[in-house]
Amino acid sequence: KGTATGFNLIGEIKGVKNPDKVILISAHIDSWFNSQGAQDNATGCAQAIDVLRIFSKAGIKPQNTIRVLIYQDEEISMSEMKKYIEVYGDESYLYNLEIDSGAEEPVGFALFETEEVYNKIKLFSDSLRFTPELQRMPLEDASFWPLNSEKKVPVYFYMADRKNYFSIHHSEVDNMSLINKDIISRSFAMITSFVYLTDKVMCSEK
């Protein structure tokens, strides 16, 4: 009951061609009351932050601005995501990639996107033989997500294998002992590769 002060963490690498266009990668940092929150969602935060680490370490200069948002209060009311939108919502977003899928084997991405942009991403992905599973849903079906409902921003979701996810979700066994470092490393590579690819595809988009 009552209210509390929340905080968001924001970091970014400015785009060299379109610094005013933003690819937003978001993950919530809060966890359920009885849990360490290793899979929900400490690993999601690490996966988001590691995109910036890999870009920086590799000397990759993105065409568009790559921004990471680590936000609080996803589990209850999304208040800090809504606060972010209140402050930064009028910027120009190419898409918002939300990472909240656990720490099992990486699978791919679900894209609430226009058919035209989705097809360009799929074509470029196939040409590079980078073949995560890509699922397209109509952009208008993403209204459940704040940045879409308020600002009509396309929303993408990272997908990991979830066959065991709900056996530990929101429980005391969601702890770091169950995290496989090799699997997490593969997820880092897939997510960063996807952001790199879409940054290239969308360099002249929108």
State the pTM of this model: 0.95
96-139 pLDDT, tens digit per residue, is 999 999 999 999 999 999 999 999 999 988 887 888 999 999 99
Query: Could you give the domains of the chain?
Result: 9-204 (3.40.630.10)
129-165 pLDDT, tens digit per residue, is 888 999 999 999 999 999 999 999 999 999 999 888 8
Strand partners, 198: none
37-82 pLDDT, tens digit per residue, is 999 999 999 999 999 999 999 999 999 999 999 999 999 999 999 9
Structure tokens at 194: 């996807």
Read off the pLDDT of each residue in 172-201 and give the average, rounded to a whole number.
95
Please tell me the predicted confidence (pLDDT) of residue 112. Answer: 97
Please tell me the predicted confidence (pLDDT) of residue 204. Answer: 61
